[in-house]
Copies of this chain bind each other. A is one copy, B any other.
């Protein structure tokens, strides 16, 4: 339970420190930025998934490095979903702007799960990584199902 408690604390602290830096010249800049941040995060999340799913050998150092990047990147995309960024080269559904509280909760859930994933990866234990990876993956899927056009 000690691990769980510290995972939860880390997640809360991390959520509180989400920076709000919505500074884009044009809506298309915001769209490009948020897609880029999600692309980088997904690449590193995928490397953790390959370990969690035992497609590649578990490498504790690589897991810790990738999870740190996922945590850092998990905070970034959300400030770029501001007003007027619903049109253009984006698969964002209108519900993002009509259901803002739900969208906010979805992104907060990911940020918290990414922080837990980083803590879990740093334990150097594959079972911890598997559990935290699965939990984080659910937060990705929940938002994609609700808020992303396929």
Using CB atoms and an 8 Å cutoff, list the residues of chain A in contact with chain B: 19, 21, 23-24, 29, 32-33, 35-37, 39-40, 43-44, 47, 50, 62, 65-66, 69, 72-73, 76
Contacts and interface: CB of A to CB of B under 8 A. Distances in A.
How many monomers of this chain does the complex have?
Answer: 2
Contact of A40 (B37, B50, B66): B37
Given A35-B36, A37-B40, A40-B36, A47 B76 contact: no
Contact of A23 (B19, B21, B47): B47
Given A40-B76, A72-B72, A65 B21 contact: yes
Contacts of A23: 47, 50
A76 B72 contact: no
8 contacts: A21-B62, A23-B47, A23-B50, A29-B43, A33-B40, A37-B40, A40-B73, A72-B72
Contacts of A36: 35-37, 39-40
A39 B36 CA distance: 6
